[in-house]
Amino acid sequence: MKIAVFGDSISTHIEMEVMTQALLTEAGISAQVERFAVAGEDTNAAMKRLAGVVASRADYYYIFFGANDAAVHRQISPSQFADNLTTFVTALGARKTMILTPSYINETAIAKTQKMLGRTNAGFVPYVEVAKQVASQTGAGLIELNQAMLASPNPNDLIVSDGVHFTTKGYQLITSLIAADVRTREFKKEHV
């Protein structure tokens, strides 16, 4: 089985691949995780890479953008984000595609390091809502990463000192959500 993760810098880290594969192996599922991710990229820029993601012919696709789209200096409106996500889902196939909502960010860390400016949790809310709407309208699945992060005992433990990127605990969370989704999808296929 092949799983494709299509996203920005958070998805470029090897943890996304290795941890997801390990969790699936533990569940008795042999899978190859391929990352189609570029640091600093937003959904407008990712359009140029969509054909390569489609060509991968993955069994399941996980779309994870938003941290750069929601950055004020990018000037990508929620409606443009919605159009881009819809294009991705349409090209990849809604039945085998999941959208992850944009994540939680640590605003205190951003203010302290001055590295990931132009991003706030309040500013992310419209992009989280758009991800939910696009999933509902297209029939794609949804992983509410933002909500899962906020529900953790200390969301800041999931984020490194720049305020945006993930710690090992953050990758444990996101990969467990992806692996759980794959297990559920495979179970449903076996019991139809």
- Pick the residue with more confidence: 65 or 114? 65
State the Cα–Cα distance between residues 179 and 117, nearest whole angstrom: 32
State the Cα–Cα distance between residues 103 and 189, nearest whole angstrom: 29
pLDDT digits (tens, 9 = 90+) for 43-67: 999 999 999 999 999 999 999 999 9
Q: Where are the domains of the chain?
A: 2-190
How many CB atoms are closer than 10 A to CB 9? 16
Looking at residue 72, what is its pLDDT?
86
3-state SS, residue 107: helix
pLDDT for 142 beyond 80: yes
- Pick the residue with more confidence: 150 or 113? 150
Contact at 8 Å (CB) between 104 and 154? Answer: no
* CA 179 to the chain's CA centroid: 13
Tell me what the mean pLDDT of segment 147-171 comes to: 96
Could you tell me which CATH class the domain 2-190 is placed in? alpha beta
State the Cα–Cα distance between residues 135 and 122, nearest whole angstrom: 21
Looking at residue 119, what is its pLDDT?
86
Looking at residue 115, what is its pLDDT?
82
pLDDT for 74 beyond 90: no
